[in-house]
Amino acid sequence: MAESLADYEPLARDVLPAAVYDFVAGGSGLEQTVGLNRAAFFAITLTPRILTGLAKPNPSWMVLGTRWELPIAVAPMAYQKLLHPEGELHLAAAASRAGIPYTISTLSSVPLEKIAGVAPSWFQLYWLRDRRVVTSLVERAVDAGCGALMVTVDVPVMGRRLRDIRNQFALPPDIAPENLVDKVTEAHDAVPGVSAVAAHTASVFEPAVSWRDLEWLRSLCPIPLVIKGILDPRDARRAVEIGADGVVVSNHGGRQLDGAIASIDALGPVVDAVGKDCVVLLDSGVRSGLDVLKAVASGASGVLVGRPLLWALAVDAVDEALALLGREVRDAMLLAGCADLAAVRELSVGRATWPIWS
């Protein structure tokens, strides 16, 4: 049994093909931002309150019209059948049992309708060259009962992920982006010096997306709209102005612009820019229940958790991992003297002096 979420990564590495492990673990370039995300969380300190008479904290939260058990959602992550035969269905069902939302990726290896059928879900949208497909995906997500549309805006082109390039990473024949019907062959064709997955996204993703496109999407989308991939407070404010219900402060887990600011470092200015006008979520670097508490204390409404749950998926331990994460959140709240998330947001947040050891 794992004692922390970090325990799942070495277990997964032992059972996964090396190229699949690298596909999940890797970032772009020299992976500076992957490291910055963790270092920034390590640097955050919290000042606990004492003698609060607290015995059982309540970490539930209300977001986008629904109350959940924890201030956590499963991040959108592609091709989960690479890690488990049931892929997205297995992780989504575990999320449902844990009382947290599951975010379906455009590039899921199971059709979105099947995933939405097993768990309360949000749908993550990549902007595609064919606007008819974009429209179709939005309509399918709405018809499937997804509670929100999360459009990712930080991938005009896939970051240069050197591990995948060196591995000539390609999808196996039995795994495909099941929500898309055209141009999937590139993702399966191993070519020296090329990531086949990156080649596929280059053929179907639209690089020249603008705020005007987001305004069109807002007019099309009848469910809450969340914009994922925001780091600059000016962009966050613009998102509010075009009618977004939420933003995700995210550097894509360090997989896009290498050297980008750590998401948790970008959070405060974004929260200040939007005030109470929209929900502010955070991802990239969350590895424990304590990290969840640090993010909420720093102003986030909640967080998205990604890689640690994929490692747990690879060793068939997602229920255990989510239970562990929930226990860590509750323990951290109890130790900090916080009865609920409102109390967490009142904690004093500081920064440790360097060096920071990880």
The enclosing domain of 44 has a CATH number of 3.20.20.70
Is 172 a known ligand-binding residue? no
What is the tens place of the pLDDT at every residue in 100-121?
A: 999 999 999 999 999 999 999 9
Active site residues: 252
Tell whether 353 is covered by a domain. Answer: no
Element (DSSP H or E) covering residue 150: strand 149-152
Tell whether 120 is covered by a domain. Answer: yes
Six token digits for residue 24:
């999940």
Domain ranges, residue 40: 5-347
Tell whether 334 is covered by a domain. Answer: yes
- pLDDT at position 149 over 60: yes
Is 270 a known ligand-binding residue? no
Tell whether 80 is covered by a domain. Answer: yes
Is 32 a known ligand-binding residue? no
Which of 24-38, 130-144, 182-196, 335-349 is predicted least confidently?
182-196
Q: How many CB atoms lie within 10 A of CB 329?
A: 25
Tell whether 356 is covered by a domain. Answer: no
Is 1 a known ligand-binding residue? no
Mean pLDDT of 340-355: 91
Give how many domains the chain has, as a whole number: 1
Mean pLDDT of 260-277: 96
Tell whether 352 is covered by a domain. Answer: no
Tell whether 162 is covered by a domain. Answer: yes
**What's the pTM value of the predicted model, to 2 decimals?**
0.95
Six token digits for residue 203:
């053929």
What is the tens place of the pLDDT at every residue in 75-102?
A: 999 999 999 999 999 999 999 999 999 9
Tell whether 358 is covered by a domain. Answer: no
Is 8 a known ligand-binding residue? no
Burial 200-214 (b: 16+ CB within 10 A, else e): bbeebbeeebeeebb
Measured distance CA(238)–CA(207) in Å, rounded: 19
Six token digits for residue 161:
């992920």
Is 238 a known ligand-binding residue? no
- pLDDT bin (cut points 50, 70, 90) of residue 233 is very high
Are 265 and 40 in contact by the 8 Å Cβ rule? The answer is: yes
